[in-house]
Structure 1
Amino acid sequence: MYVVMIASECAPVSKVGGLADVVDGLSRELANKGHKVEVILPYYDCMNLSTIGAAINDFQNNSVQVSVQCNGKQLLSTVHSAVIHDNECFFIKPHSQERYFDRGIYYGQRDDDERFTVFCLSAVEFLSETGRRPDVIHCHDWQSALVPVLLKTKHRHSALSQTKTCYTIHNIWHQGKTSEKVLKMADLEQVVTGKDSIVDDSDHAYINLMKGGITYSDIITTVSPKYASETMTNQMGEGMQKTLSKYSDKYTGIINGVDYDSWSPATDKLIPFNYDIDSIEDKYKNKEHMRKKMSMKQDFKPIVSVVGRLDMQKGVHLIRHALLYSLNNGMQFVLLGSSPDKEIDIYFHHLKHYLKDNHDCHIHLSHDEELAHLIYAGADMILIPSLFEPCGLTQMIAMRYGTVPVVRNTGGLSDTVFDAEVSVKPVTDRNGFSFDDFSYDAVSLALKRASMTWHEKPHTFREIMLTGMRTDYSWGASADKYLSLYNRISGKW
């Protein structure tokens, strides 16, 4: 199978969030299984090319040049190449006075719609001009959603006409809503204007690039089965539920994988004491080390942790409540996170100052990779009270380290965490604690149940830890599911 990934991010060279890890992890696993994989990315001037060591090799400054028709003019792009984690990657650098990817930033520009339209046009042209004929092109989120549209319209009679497309939604909130100028830029006005295939469902004055990707792709995926069903509802579809329901026969959810080369307590170089299922007692050496590092009391108490972004999606008000509840109910609390929201950031800095003399608590309000690894290894529980969570990696990483997740039942959290007391799963599959309501009472009760189990049923708590450590959330199983979809749409099964 020959697969081309087209995306706006790929770790380690260009990473803003989980999308980058997915593109990298899935590509590597497919290659490990013997398939040919190439990745096409924008050439950002802020890419991480100098500090990633051996991850990137053979970077070519001038590989191929392609020309596309854009706004009635020819736009020239240079396509650079490199080998990243043994996969060949191509970086598209448009040459224009707009300097589309020379902004020192990945996203957040007023003309993001134009920037990624140029990227999609150039990516398809590069494949066409270089004679590449992938079996499947796998596109990710709205930034590459125009590719399936181009293949099924302008390129429907080209040599790429037999190539199938898979389109993955990583977060339904970000859809690429824009004006018809994008259709003009891409010379698609005569093909899609006035049709339901790409016009936004909520406001017909707008074009919706995600909707175009959904409509024109051969298969649609998202990053967990539960999130797939949730996004077809009025509560969580963000206006896309009608379109996703229409194409439900080609829509499915596949859980993301975890890179166990980076996240494994047995080999993790960022924790002081390595351990596995057979040496689980060494986990508590990390707990003791973490307390010393954070000037916390060495006490017979469970440590509840939070690792991640502090914003409304992550249930930031429930995190605040859980912190205070834990401290008032015989638990310790460790928080590692930062917020893009100024008001939230200010609040947590005030809270940190207020609790500065409390030795049952530690708050660290900036990203710290080494500290994240230590918290996964040293904490007893990890709290994830998200409003919504398409997939989530935090709970799967925590389980690998024997840290028990306490999560809200939504999205990928529901698909990976099964309550120790009330799950329909067999006892041998139960690996955490969960709650349904997005409320203070629900969080408090879940933490109370987890804490009581830790104190009163230590053997049960140990079995929950070990169940999580045994669970395989590596990319292997997820890649097999994607391969099954690729084979189905390309007629190779």
Structure 2
Amino acid sequence: MHIAMVSAECAPIAKAGGLGDFVQGLARELAQVGERVEVILPAYDSLRLDARAPPSVIECTLQVPFAGESIACQVLALSLDGYECRLIAPRSVHGFFERGRLYGEPDDAERFAFFSRAVVEYVSRPEARPDVLHCNDWQTGLVPVLLAACATAPTRIPVCYTLHNVGYQGWVEADLLTRVGLDAACLPADPGDPPRVNLMQGGIVAADVVNTVSPRYAWEIQNTEQGQGLQACVQRYRDKFGGILNGIDETVWDPRTDPLIPANFGPETLPRKALNRQALRARLGLETAVERPIMAVVSRLDRQKGVELIAHGIQHGLESGAQIALLGTALEPAIAERFAHLKSTLGASPHAHLELGYDESLAHLLYAGADMILIPSFYEPCGLTQLIAMRYGTVPIARRVGGLADTIQDANYSTAPFESRNGYLFDEPTAEALEGAMNRALELWRTFPSYFSQLRLNGMRGDYSWHQPARDYLGLYAYARQAQGFAGSASSTI
């Protein structure tokens, strides 16, 4: 099967978050099982090519209609881990992808609307036509809408559309649609001035199949406030909607072979984890001659991740006899200021270290050296933090939402057998609920260390690879090819 994955990110060359890891991991796994995989990205000037051979130019030039112009684009080819990348490089005074970063520009909506139109022009060429197109998040939500407007169902390329985070839906001014050649009325507009349309909603309606990145989050989007306004739309199309849990890159996140930690270990050599704990304390300047567990936080510091609870958990952990190690960044000034103040307040403590930035090697050492990790997310579509932590024998303490609920079995209250229990969960987003879960974890660590070690081992023995998710996506692609349905036409309202 020829699968074209369309995305704003693909690690390692264009990564801002978990979307980049998703595209890389799934593309590589699909290629390894024999599928022909092509990832289509913007040709950002900030691509991290390192020592890779520079992209080569495919012998074709696209003419992409946009805002009354015809903008020429080169298509560049780059080989990655068993699959191909196609980079859309417009030659335009707009400099759509010449900004030094992936996102955060005032004209992001225009940039990705243009990219979506360019993708449709590229895949519509007979020699480039895939068997299925896999679009991701709001940045590519216009692709299935454009395809539906340009072709009838029997000849249209089947589309799978994955929602990674419905907190970002792509609300844009309605007149953007006309710039890519669509009828301005093809998406329902809000009554504002100027009226706006929702690109993610358009993708949900126009795609043949839609999924999100965990079964629990799929349910939450339909039935709770986590749908953030999309509940009715998703419920209407529930027959083509579901959830597939993400995997992690087990070549990068493997404590047996990880080159970024001082002592490699696995379930059969778990005592060697203590060497990483010692190294972590030395690196962060934490007191070493103590019997305290290390409780880590590795997270973006934003409201989705539960910053209020993170701050409270740090204080409660210290008061309860734990050492605290945080690695995180905040883009919102008020949150950044709060954690800078907390860092200053705790500066003299021998039991706390807050690293306000991102350091890849420190992230690996935190997973390898910590005993527990706090993940008190307000919502969490899938979450990679808990999967990585468990692989490294670090026990998660997390809120029972999204993919956290799908992957963590509570040590005390799960109905699963003990050998499947691997962490601690709490329900309400309150300080009291978080403290309850933390206290249960700390009590087991102190009183029954052998049981706590078994929780570590249970987590380490889980399968968090891309093997099963890739098979699930192949089934989804097959369903999309069979469905070939579209709820409207180019002139109808989605």
Shorter-chain TM-score tier: over 0.9
Write the distance in 1 (CA, Å) between the matches of 2:416 and 2:323: 30
Corresponding residue number in structure 1 for 2:299: 308
Corresponding residue number in structure 2 for 1:481: 472
Measure how far apart 1:426 and its partner are.
2.1
Write the distance in 1 (CA, Å) between the matches of 2:442 and 2:224: 36
Distance 1:233 1:81, change over 3 A: same
Distance 1:8 1:202, change over 3 A: farther
Match of 2:393 among 402, 411, 415: 402
Corresponding residue number in structure 1 for 2:146: 150
Write the distance in 2 (CA, Å) between the matches of 1:178 and 1:233: 25
Q: Which amino acid aligns with 1:264?
A: D
Q: Which amino acid aligns with 1:173?
A: G
Corresponding residue number in structure 1 for 2:32: 32
Distance 1:409 1:201, change over 3 A: farther
The alignment status of 1:187 with 2:177, answered yes or no, reads no
Indicate the percent of aligned positions where both proteins have the same amino acid: 43
Measure how far apart 1:179 and its partner are.
2.0
Corresponding residue number in structure 2 for 1:461: 452
Map 1:47-62 onto structure 2 (within 5 A): 47-49=47-49, 51=50, 53=51, 56-57=52-53, 59-61=55-57
Secondary structure of 1:81's counterpart equals: strand
Secondary structure of 1:236's counterpart equals: helix
**Runs of 5+ unmatched residues, structure 2:** 484-494
Deviations 1:411-465 (A, max 9, x none): 1100011100001222221110010010111111111000001111112111111
Write the distance in 2 (CA, Å) between the matches of 1:117 and 1:156: 22
The alignment status of 1:438 with 2:429, answered yes or no, reads yes
Secondary structure of 1:481's counterpart equals: helix
Distance 1:229 1:200, change over 3 A: farther
Write the distance in 2 (CA, Å) between the matches of 1:207 and 1:83: 36
Q: State whether residues 311 and 339 of structure 1, in contact with CA within 8 Å, keep that contact through their aligned partners in structure 2.
A: yes
Measure how far apart 1:109 and its partner are.
1.8
Deviations 1:14-67 (A, max 9, x none): 111110110111000000011000011001111112x2x3xx446214642100
Larger deviation, residues 277-286 vs 144-153: 144-153
Corresponding residue number in structure 2 for 1:292: 282
Secondary structure of 1:231's counterpart equals: helix
TM-score by length of 2: 0.94
Query: Alpha carbon RMSD of aligned pairs, Å?
Result: 1.7
Map 1:273-288 onto structure 2 (within 5 A): 273-288=263-278
Measure how far apart 1:200 and its partner are.
4.8
Q: State whether residues 5 and 37 of structure 1, in contact with CA within 8 Å, keep that contact through their aligned partners in structure 2.
A: yes
Measure how far apart 1:405 and its partner are.
0.4
Q: State whether residues 327 and 333 of structure 1, in contact with CA within 8 Å, keep that contact through their aligned partners in structure 2.
A: yes
Corresponding residue number in structure 2 for 1:106: 102
Matched positions, count? 481
TM-score by length of 1: 0.94
Q: State whether residues 152 and 161 of structure 1, in contact with CA within 8 Å, keep that contact through their aligned partners in structure 2.
A: no
Q: State whether residues 92 and 122 of structure 1, in contact with CA within 8 Å, keep that contact through their aligned partners in structure 2.
A: yes
Match of 1:376 among 367, 370, 385: 367
Measure how far apart 1:162 and its partner are.
4.5
Measure how far apart 1:233 and its partner are.
2.9
Match of 1:261 among 234, 243, 251: 251
Measure how far apart 1:4 and its partner are.
0.2
Deviations 1:305-364 (A, max 9, x none): 100111111111111111111111111111111111112212212221221221111111
Deviations 1:144-186 (A, max 9, x none): 11111122121337xx924210000011011111122222112
Larger deviation, residues 68-77 vs 294-303: 68-77
Q: Which has the higher contact order (CA 8 A, sep 6+)?
A: 2
Map 1:89-238 onto structure 2 (within 5 A): 89-129=85-125, 131-156=127-152, 161-189=155-183, 193-194=184-185, 198-200=187-189, 205-238=195-228
Measure how far apart 1:79 and its partner are.
1.0
Q: State whether residues 284 and 353 of structure 2, in contact with CA within 8 Å, keep that contact through their aligned partners in structure 1.
A: yes
Measure how far apart 1:133 and its partner are.
2.6
Distance 1:214 1:202, change over 3 A: farther
Measure how far apart 1:389 and its partner are.
0.5
Write the distance in 1 (CA, Å) between the matches of 2:327 and 2:25: 24
Corresponding residue number in structure 2 for 1:70: 66
Match of 1:490 among 465, 481, 484: 481
Corresponding residue number in structure 1 for 2:326: 335
Q: State whether residues 55 and 77 of structure 2, in contact with CA within 8 Å, keep that contact through their aligned partners in structure 1.
A: yes
Secondary structure of 1:108's counterpart equals: coil
Write the distance in 2 (CA, Å) between the matches of 1:292 and 1:15: 30
Secondary structure of 2:226's counterpart equals: coil
Deviations 1:356-394 (A, max 9, x none): 221111111110110110110000000100000111000
Corresponding residue number in structure 2 for 1:247: 237
Measure how far apart 1:291 and its partner are.
1.0
Larger deviation, residues 292-301 vs 373-382: 292-301
Deviations 1:180-238 (A, max 9, x none): 2222112111xxx445xx32578693221111110010100101111111111351111
Corresponding residue number in structure 1 for 2:8: 8
**Runs of 5+ unmatched residues, structure 1:** none
